[in-house]
A = this chain, B = another copy of it.
Amino acid sequence: MSGSYPFTVDPWSIGLSGIDTSQLMHRESVFALSNGHIGWRGNLDEGDPRGIPGTYLNGVFEEYPMPYAEDGYGYPEDGQHVINVSNGQILRLLLDDEPFDVRRGTLARHDQRLDFRAGTLHRHVEWTSPAGRAVRVRSTRLVSLSHRSVAAVRYEVEAMDAPVTATVQSELVANEAIPDAHPEARVQRTVDAPLDGVEHVVLGSAATLVHRTRTSGQGIAVTMDHRVATSGSTDPDVGTEVSADLARTTISVRLEPGERLEIVKFIGHEWADGVSVAGLRDRAEGAVADAVRDGWNGLAEQQRARLDEYWACADVRVDGEPKLQQAVRFALFHIFQAAARAELRSVPGKGLTGAGYDGHTFWDFEAFVLPVLTSTAPHAAEQALRWRHSTLDHARRRARLLGLAGAAFPWRTIDGRESSGYWPASTIAFHLNADIAFAALHYVRATGDRAFERDAGLEILVETARLWMSLGHHDADGRFHIDGVTGPDEYSAMVDDNVYTNLMARLNLDGAAATARRHPDVADTLGVGPDEIDQWAATASAMTVPFDAARQIHPQFAGFTDKQHWDFDGTSPDQYPLQEHFPYFDLYRKQVVKQADLVLALYLAGDAFTATEKERAFAYYEALTVRDSSLSAAVQAVIAAEVGHLELAADYLAETATIDLHDLHENTDAGLHLASLAGIWLALTAGFGGMRDSENGLRFAPRLPSQLTRIAFGVRIGGQTLHLDITPAATVYLLSDGPTRSIRHFDETLVLSPGHPTTVPTPPLPAVGPRPTQPPSRAPRGFTAAFAD
């Protein structure tokens, strides 16, 4: 995104004045509303102009045969792509015979504002038609956190200085044309108009469209109903018509100056496998009837109450840069929205804010987003992990197909089946299985949720442990190796003994062993006996962790540090991202890093490294890392902070915080990057808070960079909340009700009593070496510059 920061800076909302039609796609992502079940992009009420129309239902997708130029054993047969379902956002307005369109007439005011506490998107427009009719239009929309299937819009039209006939066409539209939904022409055809109408009906004032996706065969029912009022003397005319792909309620009224028409539109969205058309229709109508009973005010109050509850635990206070404060809450709001009511569905990489990445979920959900949810919305974290657990049968079948034991979770998927089309960067990125296992272990430590551990967590751990046992092998010296895998860095592939993968597999095996020993009865039902547990523990101990003794550096994988260095001096700034300008083979065979890999190991498996090793490794990999992935900056912030480069950490935090708001990767149009939004939280809590979680408990090492005067946040520990209030000189720890808890503050153990703040000073910063350098043109922009615009 070029130009200065377009948004109004406010601690609890994000607003925009005026409208730039060339930026619509970006704004629609920023202003998207969701509850994890429904996603509404921030399209304009009147439907035109439009960037990318988007109404998504979590789990609804179309499938298509995956195209391969050359087929291979084990290649997934079917691809999945999230689809735009029947769109209930549309409220077209006509003033006399003139359609309201922001591109015509005179727009005296156009304000939009996403309110993080109210959970609503507001819009305020003052517009004079080419014929001279002036109106004020105010709309507020919400996707309900309390009614899972419901979205609602309050839409007001006020005549300003002359009488006008206001006509509103409120619609449900199926099979809207979507521009460039997919770069591959065949997939585009598949997801173009993917809905077959199976029923359309008006019952009372409510209209319902029922469709079925053409290939995946999923049934979807969407109902709308309206409550209409006017402050004027004339009663509005209201009528509803319906056809296969269109339901329309037309509301028309004569308004004198100062008179208002108020419409509340309630939309219910239902889908399920194995439910009849009549059943879906009735569920959608029932959801709307419920919402109508609560009314707009009821929905809005429930929305605020649910968010008050969330923020009480989730809020992060950051003093020193108002745009950063706004970015943190923007991020936390979207993360919560994405997962709140997902309830045994996956959470896509873009949430439900766009169709980017085909609507798929990836490993970064568990590695980046889930820790945030675990501390801020643990019920949503649990549901997300239980969704993974529910897909174990798919993962077991995938493992078997690959000749492996246990379960191999999919690299990218909507419903749990592997949908990746390029195996060197997907199938063999087996680390995702350990990432899921690690998220489950962390969730249990943070929440103390033993029911989850017994019901779901243990089985995830057991099946992933079995995967590692079959994937790796012991050498003649008894060391365990994992060959032919791809780590997090996508500029390497098919490598042996990737340090991140091996260390995470070790945590996975140890975690499986410890958990199985804690629940021998459940383990027994999974066929796990003492011998298997002992093998896991022994294999974890025998895990190879390559080390380049000559350079005193952990190589990203065996042999990495011996490879040729990428010719950074010969690479021009416009040749980034590298993958768009160089063939994979050339990236793969040289020392160049797309995103934190060894550095991610320094964070998530930090106990495996000494402080000196971390410092040296960080500097080494900084010089190789180009951050062509949005996942990298946050992790670099975390380790920069740990090794004492606080200003560099602040620069990376600033980059992470602006990835979507400044559209740094030029693809926020297709949806927000949930993982880099989560990265803001990670950079603050794990970076400047120094928070590390392991089986040895929670540890903090809080230090602020010069630009920040205070960071305050809460995390979970054994089901209690631990609140930190960090200032440059000291940190105040406050534990919520429950037993006492031990944590570490730097190298000191603190025993915290609930309700009693404990204040501890920040130790002096040890001497640090020179600031590590990045490849030419790849240094972060800098904290000040990032927020200066």
Chain A residues in the interface with B (C-beta under 8 A): 65-75, 79, 183-186, 401-403, 420-424, 427-428, 473, 481, 483-485, 493-494, 496, 559, 563-564, 579-586, 588-590
A585 contacts which of B67, B69, B428 (Cβ < 8 Å)?
A: B428
9 tightest A-B contacts by CB?
A69-B421, A484-B589, A67-B67, A74-B583, A70-B422, A70-B421, A483-B589, A66-B69, A428-B585
Closest residue to A65 on the B side, CB-wise? B185
Cβ distance A229 to chain B, nearest Cβ, rounded Å: 52
A586 contacts which of B484, B493, B496, B564 (Cβ < 8 Å)?
A: B484
**Set of chain B residues within 8 Å of A494, measured between Cβ atoms:** 493-494, 585, 588-589
**Contact assessment for A68 and B483 in the assembled complex, using a CB-CB cutoff below 8 Å:** no
A483 contacts which of B183, B481, B563 (Cβ < 8 Å)?
A: B563
**Set of chain B residues within 8 Å of A585, measured between Cβ atoms:** 423-424, 427-428, 484-485, 494
Cβ distance A684 to chain B, nearest Cβ, rounded Å: 34
**Set of chain B residues within 8 Å of A483, measured between Cβ atoms:** 563-564, 589-590
**Set of chain B residues within 8 Å of A72, measured between Cβ atoms:** 422, 579, 583-584
**Contact assessment for B67 and A68 in the assembled complex, using a CB-CB cutoff below 8 Å:** yes
Closest residue to A72 on the B side, CB-wise? B584
Q: How many copies does the complex hold?
A: 2
Alpha-carbon separation in the docked complex, A484 to B560 (Å)? 13
Known: A494-B588, A584-B423. A67 touches B403 (CB 8 A): no
Alpha-carbon separation in the docked complex, A589 to B494 (Å)? 8
**Set of chain B residues within 8 Å of A559, measured between Cβ atoms:** 559
Known: A402-B583, A423-B584, A564-B473. A186 touches B67 (CB 8 A): yes
Cβ distance A198 to chain B, nearest Cβ, rounded Å: 27
**Set of chain B residues within 8 Å of A424, measured between Cβ atoms:** 424, 585
**Contact assessment for A68 and B184 in the assembled complex, using a CB-CB cutoff below 8 Å:** yes
Cβ distance A399 to chain B, nearest Cβ, rounded Å: 11
Cβ distance A175 to chain B, nearest Cβ, rounded Å: 24
Closest residue to A422 on the B side, CB-wise? B70
Cβ distance A245 to chain B, nearest Cβ, rounded Å: 28
Chosen A-B contacts, 9 in total, with CB atoms closer than 8 Å, are: A67-B67, A72-B583, A73-B579, A73-B581, A402-B583, A423-B583, A423-B585, A483-B564, A484-B588
**Set of chain B residues within 8 Å of A71, measured between Cβ atoms:** 183-184
Q: Given A67-B69, A70-B420, A70-B422, list of 8 further CB < 8 A pairs? A: A69-B184, A71-B184, A72-B422, A473-B564, A481-B564, A483-B590, A484-B586, A494-B494
Cβ distance A134 to chain B, nearest Cβ, rounded Å: 50
Alpha-carbon separation in the docked complex, A66 to B563 (Å)? 33
Alpha-carbon separation in the docked complex, A563 to B428 (Å)? 17
Alpha-carbon separation in the docked complex, A589 to B402 (Å)? 14
Closest residue to A474 on the B side, CB-wise? B564
Alpha-carbon separation in the docked complex, A421 to B422 (Å)? 12
Known: A186-B186, A586-B484. A69 touches B73 (CB 8 A): no
Alpha-carbon separation in the docked complex, A423 to B588 (Å)? 13
**Contact assessment for B402 and A586 in the assembled complex, using a CB-CB cutoff below 8 Å:** yes
Q: Name the residue in A70, A74, A185, A588 with the highest tally of chain B Cβ atoms < 10 Å from its Cβ.
A: A70
Closest residue to A563 on the B side, CB-wise? B483
**Set of chain B residues within 8 Å of A583, measured between Cβ atoms:** 72-74, 401-403, 423, 427
Alpha-carbon separation in the docked complex, A261 to B668 (Å)? 77
Cβ distance A408 to chain B, nearest Cβ, rounded Å: 11
Alpha-carbon separation in the docked complex, A585 to B74 (Å)? 10
Alpha-carbon separation in the docked complex, A69 to B75 (Å)? 10
Alpha-carbon separation in the docked complex, A494 to B583 (Å)? 13
**Set of chain B residues within 8 Å of A582, measured between Cβ atoms:** 73-74, 403
Cβ distance A371 to chain B, nearest Cβ, rounded Å: 28
Cβ distance A264 to chain B, nearest Cβ, rounded Å: 44
**Contact assessment for B69 and A79 in the assembled complex, using a CB-CB cutoff below 8 Å:** yes
**Set of chain B residues within 8 Å of A184, measured between Cβ atoms:** 67-69, 71
A69 contacts which of B68, B473, B584, B586 (Cβ < 8 Å)?
A: B68
Cβ distance A761 to chain B, nearest Cβ, rounded Å: 48
Alpha-carbon separation in the docked complex, A421 to B579 (Å)? 17
**Set of chain B residues within 8 Å of A67, measured between Cβ atoms:** 67-69, 184, 186
Cβ distance A336 to chain B, nearest Cβ, rounded Å: 31
**Set of chain B residues within 8 Å of A496, measured between Cβ atoms:** 589
**Set of chain B residues within 8 Å of A586, measured between Cβ atoms:** 402-403, 484
Alpha-carbon separation in the docked complex, A73 to B490 (Å)? 14
Cβ distance A118 to chain B, nearest Cβ, rounded Å: 40
Q: Name the residue in A401, A494, A579, A581 with the highest tally of chain B Cβ atoms < 10 Å from its Cβ.
A: A494
Q: Name the residue in A79, A428, A585 with the highest tally of chain B Cβ atoms < 10 Å from its Cβ.
A: A585
**Set of chain B residues within 8 Å of A423, measured between Cβ atoms:** 583-585
**Set of chain B residues within 8 Å of A65, measured between Cβ atoms:** 185
Cβ distance A369 to chain B, nearest Cβ, rounded Å: 23
Cβ distance A479 to chain B, nearest Cβ, rounded Å: 12
**Set of chain B residues within 8 Å of A75, measured between Cβ atoms:** 69
Closest residue to A71 on the B side, CB-wise? B183
**Set of chain B residues within 8 Å of A401, measured between Cβ atoms:** 583
Q: Name the residue in A428, A485, A580 with the highest tally of chain B Cβ atoms < 10 Å from its Cβ.
A: A428
**Contact assessment for A422 and B69 in the assembled complex, using a CB-CB cutoff below 8 Å:** yes
**Set of chain B residues within 8 Å of A403, measured between Cβ atoms:** 582-583, 586
Cβ distance A187 to chain B, nearest Cβ, rounded Å: 9
Cβ distance A403 to chain B, nearest Cβ, rounded Å: 6
Closest residue to A79 on the B side, CB-wise? B69
Cβ distance A683 to chain B, nearest Cβ, rounded Å: 30
Cβ distance A470 to chain B, nearest Cβ, rounded Å: 11
**Set of chain B residues within 8 Å of A484, measured between Cβ atoms:** 585-586, 588-589
Closest residue to A66 on the B side, CB-wise? B69
Q: Name the residue in A484, A559, A579 with the highest tally of chain B Cβ atoms < 10 Å from its Cβ.
A: A484
Cβ distance A45 to chain B, nearest Cβ, rounded Å: 36
